[in-house]
A and B are shown apart, each in its own frame.
Chain A
Amino acid sequence: MSENKNIKNLKEFSTSADRFEGANLLCPGCAHSIIVREVLNATNDDLILSASTGCLEVCTAVYPYTSWDASWIHIGFENGSTAVAGAESMYKALKTKGRLKQPDRNPKFVSFAGDGASYDIGFQWISGCMERGHNIMHVVLDNEVYANTGGQRSSSTPIGSSATTSPEGRRSYGEKKNKKDMVSIMASHNIPYSAQVAPNKWKDMVKKIQHGFSVDGPVFINAVSPCTTEWKFDPKDTMHLADLATDSLVFPLYEIIDGHELNITYRPKTVVPVEEYLAAQGRFKHLFKDEYKHLIKEWQERVDAKWAQLNRREEARV
């Protein structure tokens, strides 16, 4: 195991030499990119990366350009996790056989994928990778929608959000089903580490990514990724939206160690009402009509209940 990079504060972090490049084709203000940078900059070790089909992939390796400064592979929409798992298996095989070109390295194997690629179509692949114990980290760029294909719902899309396949309309308030709890599902594979992160809390992020890199076995990370295009907010407000997400507890930050030990890693000093989070985004605009006001109340209740549940799980140390 290699030494973790020493990142005590932001100034120190800012000496990182990025391994992800600009002039990619992501929207101005896209949080995917911010998350990727924080993850990659958390280590100085060599990286073997993959991306599943989705915004990150189609915007960062458009021939003849690549935005990746480490080896990177994309196969398809569902199988990015298995792509790095395959590479990791080859690494192990060549290590055993003494055929690595640079045997002294400590590569980290990271798979980036959208919520569609992770919660839906790639679910089985990720589950397989987690169950088999590959030394890989799977990072979900969770923008709660199929952004790359223009805003269809995924099983991460929350209730009341208007997506193109669950649109709000005269007889509908949009998405009817609640978001899948992927962190818990993945933790239930009894993997050494799973966590929810947010790009605005860079220190929490870096700590978790470094923890993830230091354990032996698969790691699952769910990163909230405010999407200016599909959430419908001004690109300059991406970090503001991330702040609202974490501080309203819609995206609570926590980690689950060895599948059971839950720690809440961020407790907002002032909890922001969920209403404020919703109001900042076009995808929830219709909820502010009189007939849907109750949904906002229910939203708050669900967030409170989830927070209470997380607190109970933390206390119980089950």
Chain B
Amino acid sequence: MAFDKMELQKIEVWDGNRAAAQALRQSQVDVVAAYPITPSTPIVEGYAKFLADGYIEGEFVMVESEHAAMSGCIGAAAAGGRVATATSSQGYALMVETLYQASGMRLPIVLNVVNRALAAPLNVNGDHSDMYLGRDSGWIQLDAYCPQDAYDLNFIAFKVSEDHDVRLPCMVHQDGFITSHTAQGVHTLTDDEAYGFVGEYQPMNDMLDFEHPVTHGVQTEEDWHFEHKARQHNDLMTKVMPKIQTAFDDFEKLSGRKYNIVESYDMSDADVCVVCMGTSVETAREVATEMRAKGIKAGVVGLRVIRPFPFFEIAEALKGVKAIAALDRSSPNGAAGMLFNELAGALFNTGTKALLSGYVYGLGGRDLTKAHLVSLFTELQKNVDAGKVTTPLQQFIGVRGPKLSFL
């Protein structure tokens, strides 16, 4: 049997979901086990349709829950082939048990996560609650800011995840609706270029090698468990970043598009900066440029790689700045925000004198407006002028009612 190649325009008008689905097709994924949930559904529907139309060969398994989707992906990945799926929000939450199992068994799986709020109350729109939920699960997490990124990062994800020195599953995050359902121009690769980049799947410890039977998913107790978890953490801490960097470099050679572990914008001489993720990065960049016209030297740092956390890269990006705002799009529910804490950890033992404050924004798809960012940058400049943080360390922005701030 064979399948047909697809002739793509140099630039296609795709939303983030379409872009991710096309990347799965071009990577010739062998098995997709999936369950629908807004806003990620079109990704797996896309794979199913490509299969139905003969643009890909493989198996699409429409299972009965997201837990089963990831369970099926784990079985398929352990069997030995290229595996991917997609989910969001409640589906992601239902998958959590299996996320740890997939990474602990060192199985390469690409999971497209179209970020969406977590109930209750139920909400279908984008925030980063689901993305944050998985941050200790042992997966690699890459963050797309727009459909182009969603397309490109899927190729990077397969390349890194399946590398025999890595063998860790990888999520590609994009913001629900703002990225997933907003069509933009996406520069494409030809089918041959894309598959050439990702490469043929190289099996390892594959169950379907009948001449080398393998046991996956053992029991370990206090005499072994720690060592296995330590090994996984070690590999995340030491092996993944260099592979991502190489993949980014190779991808730039192929496509001309440059990705960085930490995406710095106007940071070389910035006094104040915002650190954020997802579509907010692009909004913040626009506002930062506008702030410069008003005399405030503003910059933006976006995380491209969330896990492993770019501890040194982010400290390097922030080394000259005087005031930093960490923007968390997930309710910390009784603590400082994740990003705030990570940045504090990364900067604490450095020579930085930067003032760090945290902001919680955009829950349940609430817009982060330019006006919000203008006042935020202005506040940061005030901190710089005062030589101390003049506001509470944690402020909610864009929420109705009396001003909400803590710490």
Where the two chains meet, the residues of A that have a C-beta atom closer than 8 Å to any C-beta of B are 46, 48, 50, 57-58, 61-64, 66, 68-76, 78-79, 82-94, 96-97, 99-102, 105, 107, 124-125, 127-128, 131-132
The answer, among B80, B210, B215, for a CB contact under 8 Å with A94, is B80
Cβ of B208 < 8 Å from any Cβ of A?
yes
B98 within 8 A of A: yes
In the bound complex, CA of A313 to CA of B217 (Å):
42
Is the pair A46, B210 in contact by a Cβ cutoff of 8 Å? yes
Q: Which residues of A contact B77 (CB under 8 A)?
A: 86, 90
In the complex, which of the residues A48, A78, A131 contacts B208, with contact meaning CB atoms closer than 8 Å?
A48
B residues in contact (CB < 8 Å) with A = 1, 30-31, 33, 57-59, 61-65, 67-68, 71-81, 83, 97-98, 101, 105, 201, 203, 206-211, 213-221, 224, 228
**A88 to B78 Cα, complex, angstroms:** 11
Verify A58–B208 contact, CB threshold 8 A: no
Q: How far, in whole Å, are A63 and B227 apart by their CA atoms in the complex?
A: 12
Residues of A within 8 A of B213 (CB): 68-72
Indicate if the CB atoms of A63 and B208 lie closer than 8 Å: no
Contact indicator B57/A86 (Cβ below 8 Å): no
Selected A-B contacts with CB under 8 Å, 30 pairs? A48-B208, A62-B221, A63-B219, A63-B220, A63-B228, A64-B224, A66-B215, A70-B213, A71-B216, A72-B207, A72-B213, A72-B216, A73-B216, A75-B74, A76-B71, A82-B68, A87-B75, A87-B78, A89-B59, A90-B30, A93-B57, A93-B59, A93-B76, A94-B79, A94-B208, A101-B208, A101-B209, A107-B210, A128-B64, A131-B64
Q: Is B31 in contact with A93, judged by CB distance below 8 angstroms?
A: yes
Q: Are B208 and A91 in contact (CB under 8 A)?
A: yes
Residues in B with CB closer than 8 Å to A66 are: 215, 218
CA distance A36 to B224 in the complex (A): 27
**Nearest chain A residue, comparing its CB with the CB of B209:** A101
Decide if A61 touches B76 in the complex (CB within 8 Å).
no
Excluding A89-B61, A93-B76, 5 further A-B contacts by CB distance (< 8 Å) are A75-B71, A84-B75, A101-B210, A125-B64, A128-B64
The answer to whether B71 touches A125, judged by C-beta atoms less than 8 angstroms apart, is: yes
How far apart sit A93 and B105, CA to CA, in the bound complex (Å)?
Answer: 22
Partner pick for B72 among A61, A89, A107, CB 8 A cutoff: A89
Contact A90 B210 (CB under 8 A): no
Q: Which among A46, A88, A93 is the interface contact of B81 at CB below 8 angstroms? A: A93
Known A-B contacts A48-B207, A101-B208; the reply to A86 vs B74 at CB < 8 A is yes
**Hey, which chain A residues are within 8 Å of B209, CB to CB?**
71, 101-102
Inside 8 A of A124's CB, which chain B residues have their CB? 64-65, 68
- B225 — nearest CB in chain A belongs to which residue? A63
**Cα–Cα, bound, A145→B65 (Å):** 26
Q: Which residue of A lies closest to B74 (CB)?
A: A75
Q: Is the CB of A99 within 8 A of B219?
A: no
- The interface centre, meaning the residue of A64, A93, A105, A127 with most chain B CB atoms within 10 A of its CB, is A93
- Contacts A63-B224, A72-B216, A76-B98 given: A85-B30 contact, CB under 8 Å? no
By a CB distance below 8 angstroms, the chain A residues around B101 are 75-76
Residue in A closest to B215 when the chains form the complex, CB atoms: A66
Best-surrounded residue of A64, A89, A107, A128 (most CB of chain B within 10 A): A89
Residue on B with the closest CB to A92?
B59
Task: Report the separation of the CA atoms of residues A48 and B76 in the bound assembly, to the nearest whole angstrom.
Answer: 12
User: Do the beta carbons of B57 and A82 come within 8 Å of each other?
Assistant: no
A89 to chain B, nearest CB (A): 4
In the A-B complex, the 3 residue pairs with the smallest Cβ-Cβ separation, listed nearest first, are A86-B75, A74-B217, A90-B79
In whole Å, how far is B93's beta carbon from the nearest beta carbon of chain A?
Answer: 16
